[in-house]
Amino acid sequence: MDRRFFLKSSAAALTFAVAGRGISRAAEVPSGVLESRLRKAGKYDVVVCGGGPAGFTAAVAASRQGAKVALVERYGFLGGMATMGYVAPISEFAFGGERVIGGIPWEFVQRLEALGGAYVEWPKGNVDFDIELYKLCAQRMVLEAGVDLYMRSSLIGVEMSGRELCSVIIENKNGLEQLQATRFIDATGDGDLAWMAGVPMQGNPEGELQPSSFCFVLSGVDTDSPLLRRYMYHSGKKGSSQCTPVRDKLLELKKNGAELPDFGGPWFNSVMHAGSVAVNITRSAADSTDNRNFTRAECRLREDIFRFTQALREHFPEFKNCYVSSTAPQAGIRESRRILGAHTVTAEEYVSGIKYPDSISRGAHQIDMHASKGSGQVLIKLEQAAYVPYRALIADGFPNLIVAGRCISADRKSLASLRVQASCMGIGQAAGAAAARSLKEGRAVQSVDIQGLVEVLRSWGAFV
Ligand SMILES: Cc1cc2nc3c(=O)[nH]c(=O)nc-3n(C[C@H](O)[C@H](O)[C@H](O)COP(=O)(O)OP(=O)(O)OC[C@H]3O[C@@H](n4cnc5c(N)ncnc54)[C@H](O)[C@@H]3O)c2cc1C
């Protein structure tokens, strides 16, 4: 079969996608021109794109199953939203006080804890972490597993033979590089690889996405005050862990005419250093798959960071000396592209904790849907810890592609729970193991021996 190259094109916008518009495939480019400019950088069993919670866990898992693995990440560090979005804590490893996510994700937490970079809050198993030690710990685990790291490398294209992926094209200081492999994992959060490969995506009939939030670290905060001690930790709370006294005051100020932008929460999250907190307060509708749209939103949110900081200084003694010590490398993304997989997880299945014949991971976090406008948030409790089926990670007809993390096949509501980091790590672990096993078994990813996969995951400590 002819091999064809597909590169990102500008038709990626998602927000206003109606009946398939805007979720079209990347643009095909003539292979002759492109191939002459590509440097063949490596040949692998498994290439993982995206080094966030799902991606770095997938890379470690595939490598521990004996595969030769490359991990591609566009930033110079691993951790995804945890380290590029200052999103904290890692939620949630436990349901009803019992841990439901284990294996490599939990090993990561324990290693981070041993470095002094994690604090586990029970009974929910939320994990506060030190952002810099997170990067170090993830990098160590990946390198120790023998994974080849391609950092500061953006995935920009894919080579296809029919519906089989042959290589990915990445762009970095070396120019355009080609990584060949027999199995591929898309852990880019935005489903960049699957989209370029032509995998059908979930539509967006509501024309709405959960908002972006630009998180930042405030220092000079009185973290010993009763207010911060009460609201900086999340596991002891019923419902939302937002800081109600600050929220109420900000809403009152707005009502009385203060020019404050829309906000969420706010949530003040421990970064494990006295005097500093990671703040999640800003909020704007944004489409991360459309660069212009996202740039505009980020610029506006950066302004908002300083407006809220000023308001906190003026109205709360705990914040009177605070200052913005750093802003996250980018605004956080809650929702964007998701594949239309062999099975789409629905909220009903997820909340009731349906066990599938191919369950490969769990989820413990409540459904947590943020309104794209205003300060609203919908929370729905899980009846029991949820399951994620392997079929949500694969698309019919694409024999060597697995998707991991928040771009798996899920409806909007179930995504609003399974997008949290512990769940994404559990999904990544399963994706990595499945990719390596499908190769060993000489089968398409659709025909992986599920029982064998589950046995491997259980041997690592997963609760599936
Ligand atoms: C504001 C906000 C608050 C949140 N709060 C919490 C919380 O309290 N607790 C919690 O657990 N979760 C929270 N989440 C959710 C959670 O952080 C994410 O859903 C989760 O990190 C998703 O993991 P992932 O690995 O699928 O994707 P990501 O974390 O997005 O990682 C994707 C990785 O792929 C890389 N990448 C993307 N595109 C490319 C490309 N083309 N080429 C190369 N690399 C690429 C990115 O740089 C990134 O490293 C929050 C999210 C947001 C936005």
Q: Do 277 and 320 belong together in one domain?
A: yes
Residue 319 structural domain: 216-327
Q: Do 193 and 68 belong together in one domain?
A: yes
pTM here is 0.95
Residue 213 CB contacts under 8 Å (≥ 6 apart), including other chains: 264, 280, 281, 282, 283, 284, 301, 331, 332, 334, 370
- Residue with CA nearest ligand 1 atom 19: 419
- Print pLDDT tens along the chain (464 aa): 678 888 875 443 333 333 333 345 677 777 777 788 889 999 999 999 999 999 999 999 999 999 999 999 999 999 999 999 999 999 999 999 999 999 999 999 999 999 999 999 999 999 999 999 999 999 999 999 999 999 999 999 999 999 999 999 999 999 999 999 999 999 999 999 999 999 999 988 788 899 999 999 999 999 999 999 999 998 766 556 899 999 999 999 999 999 999 999 999 999 999 999 999 999 999 999 999 999 999 999 999 999 999 999 999 999 999 999 999 999 999 999 999 999 999 999 999 999 999 999 999 999 988 887 888 888 899 999 999 999 999 999 999 999 999 999 999 999 999 999 999 999 999 999 999 999 999 999 999 999 999 999 999 999 99
Which residues sit with their C-beta closer than 6 Å to ligand 1?
Answer: 49-55, 72-75, 80-81, 84-85, 87, 89-91, 154-155, 187-190, 192, 213, 215, 280, 332-334, 405-406, 419-421, 424
Which atom from ligand 1 is nearest to the alpha carbon of 193?
Answer: 41
Q: Do 11 and 146 belong together in one domain?
A: yes
Which domain-ending residue is among 327, 347, 378? Answer: 327
How many angstroms does the Cα of residue 190 sit away from the middle of ligand 1? Answer: 9
Inside any domain, residue 366: yes
Which domain-ending residue is among 294, 327, 360? Answer: 327
Inside any domain, residue 109: yes
Q: Do 125 and 165 belong together in one domain?
A: yes
Q: Do 196 and 231 belong together in one domain?
A: no
Q: For residue 415, what is the domain's CATH number? A: 3.50.50.60
How many angstroms does the Cα of residue 35 sit away from the middle of ligand 1? Answer: 32
Which atom from ligand 1 is nearest to the alpha carbon of 407?
Answer: 26
Which atom from ligand 1 is nearest to the alpha carbon of 155?
Answer: 42
pLDDT for 35 equals 80
pLDDT for 11 equals 41
How many angstroms does the Cα of residue 258 sit away from the middle of ligand 1? Answer: 33
pLDDT for 28 equals 79
Which atom from ligand 1 is nearest to the alpha carbon of 156?
Answer: 41
Which atom from ligand 1 is nearest to the alpha carbon of 8?
Answer: 41
Q: Do 226 and 110 belong together in one domain?
A: no
How many angstroms does the Cα of residue 82 sit away from the middle of ligand 1? Answer: 7
Q: Do 253 and 271 belong together in one domain?
A: yes
Inside any domain, residue 211: no
Q: Do 170 and 244 belong together in one domain?
A: no
- Residue with CA nearest ligand 1 atom 38: 188
pLDDT for 239 equals 55
Total domain count, the chain = 2
Inside any domain, residue 9: yes
How many angstroms does the Cα of residue 253 sit away from the middle of ligand 1? Answer: 32
- Residue with CA nearest ligand 1 atom 35: 50
Inside any domain, residue 189: yes
Q: Do 230 and 272 belong together in one domain?
A: yes
Inside any domain, residue 113: yes
Q: Do 142 and 27 belong together in one domain?
A: yes
Which domain-ending residue is among 327, 350, 372? Answer: 327
pLDDT for 240 equals 64
Inside any domain, residue 105: yes
Q: Do 322 and 284 belong together in one domain?
A: yes
Q: Do 240 and 314 belong together in one domain?
A: yes
How many angstroms does the Cα of residue 326 sit away from the middle of ligand 1? Answer: 19
Inside any domain, residue 56: yes
* Spatial distance between the Cα atoms of 163 and 330, rounded to a whole number of angstroms: 33
Choose which residue among 77, 83, 87, 92 to substitute to test ligand 1 binding: the one with the highest number of ligand atoms within 8 A of its C-beta.
87
